[in-house]
Amino acid sequence: MYRSLFARDAFAELDRLQREMSSLFDLSPSIRGFARGGYPALNVGSTPQSVEIYAFAPGMDPAKIEVNLDRGVLTLAGERTAAAPAASDEKTTLHVNERFAGRFRRVVSLPDDVDPAAVTASYRDGILHVSIQRKAAAQPRRIEVQ
Amino acid sequence: MNAVTQTQDDTARREPTLLPPVDVIEDTTGITLYADLPGVPRDKLNLRVEGDQLAIEADLVIALPQGMQPSHAEVQLSRYRRTFTLSNELDADKVSAELSQGVLRVRIPKAEHAQPRRIAVQVA
């Protein structure tokens, strides 16, 4: 019987289970994958006309978020500065530090039919919304019967 | 009557919610709390102080295009909730807060008697 080298940690086990479960529900595992748990959190959806990406990146200067689309791969990158002052300051104490700080970069591979020329990005209430139109040829059409 | 409100309160507590990440920084005059609440407009934020409890409750609002099929979702709930217990040297009456681009900043000053004082030493 398989025995772990180290004593089992219940939380690590839960984490493993959760990853296993989410990979089960991932219906189309792409070769480029989709790393979960990074920053910012991403939600992706699609309509017949477009692909919609929502990045949960609060407290950013919209001008400093880099959104790049290159050969079907969308990259979101930027830097988030820490709210806490430098730890060297003796008069302040950081009690809890859970918010992300530092550089981030996330990559989404897009379907083949997106139009790289028709991308819009907006930032509102801390959510970056990138909308990419699909090419007209790929959209469902009704064909007239003669 | 009381029992009814109690159960409503309990169901509200059991409903799964997002736990917003926070930073808590203390300085000599008070505590500053930052919470990440992406997607929360100002009117959907409910910040309360009840006794010694500071409660953050907020609803996430995203305008989704019609007929969108989600294909990947890392954020699957639409409500944030988190509570903190304040210690008694904090002045709960003077809490101030601001929400900007999905980041909530709450300032809780220390009560005057709890602020550091320099004590003059008398020469006897």
Q: State the pLDDT confidence band at A93, using cuts at 50, 70 and 90.
A: confident
Q: The dihedral of CA A39, A40, A43, A46: what is its sign?
A: negative
DSSP letter string over A78-145? EEE--SSPPTT-TT-EEEEE-S--EEEEEEEEPPTTEEEEEEEEEEETTEEEEEEEEPGGGS--PPPP
Nearest CA in chain A to B63: A129
- Give ∠ CA B37-A62-B43 in degrees, rounded to 5: 35
> Nearest CA of chain A to the CA of B98: how many Å?
12
| pLDDT at A79 > cutoff 80 | yes
Residue B1 lies in a domain: no
| pLDDT at B87 > cutoff 70 | yes
| pLDDT at B2 > cutoff 80 | no
pLDDT of amino acid B24? 92
| pLDDT at A1 > cutoff 60 | no
**Per-residue pLDDT tens over the stretch B34-81:** 999 999 999 999 999 988 899 999 999 998 888 888 888 888 889 999
Q: Which of B34, B42, B60, B105 to mutate to test the interface with A (most CBs of A within 10 A)?
A: B34
**Per-residue pLDDT tens over the stretch B15-33:** 888 999 999 999 888 999 9
Strands in A93-97's sheet, in edge-to-edge order, are A93-97, B22-27, B30-36, B103-109, B96-100
Residue B8 lies in a domain: no
Q: State the pLDDT confidence band at A84, using cuts at 50, 70 and 90.
A: low
- Say how far apart CA A112 and CA B42 lie, in whole Å: 38
Please judge whether B71 and A46 are an interchain contact, meaning their C-beta atoms are less than 8 angstroms apart: yes
**Mean pLDDT of the region A87-112:** 84
Tell whether domain A35-81+102-136 is in CATH 1.10.260.40: no
| pLDDT at A35 > cutoff 80 | no
> Nearest CA of chain B to the CA of A5: how many Å?
32
pLDDT of amino acid A71? 86
Average predicted confidence (pLDDT) for chain A: 82
pLDDT of amino acid B1? 38
Tell how strand A114-124 and strand B22-27 pair up. Answer: unpaired
| pLDDT at A107 > cutoff 60 | yes
Please judge whether A99 and B75 are an interchain contact, meaning their C-beta atoms are less than 8 angstroms apart: no
- Say how far apart CA A41 and CA A107 lie, in whole Å: 11
pLDDT of amino acid A88? 53
Q: State the pLDDT confidence band at B8, using cuts at 50, 70 and 90.
A: very low
| pLDDT at A26 > cutoff 90 | no
Residue B86 lies in a domain: yes
Task: Identify which has the larger pLDDT, A25 or A1.
Answer: A25
Q: State the pLDDT confidence band at B118, using cuts at 50, 70 and 90.
A: confident
Strands in B53-59's sheet, in edge-to-edge order, are B45-50, B53-59, B79-85
Give residue B88's domain range. Answer: 23-62+76-111
Task: Identify which has the larger pLDDT, A57 or A91.
Answer: A57
Q: How many domains does chain B have?
A: 1
CATH number at residue B34: 2.60.40.790
Residues of B in contact with A82 (CB under 8 A): 23
Residue B43 lies in a domain: yes
pLDDT of amino acid A30? 62
Cβ-Cβ contacts under 8 Å for B23 (sequence gap 6 or more): A82, A83, A84, A94, A96, A97, A98, A99, B33, B34
- Say how far apart CA B70 and CA A45 lie, in whole Å: 4
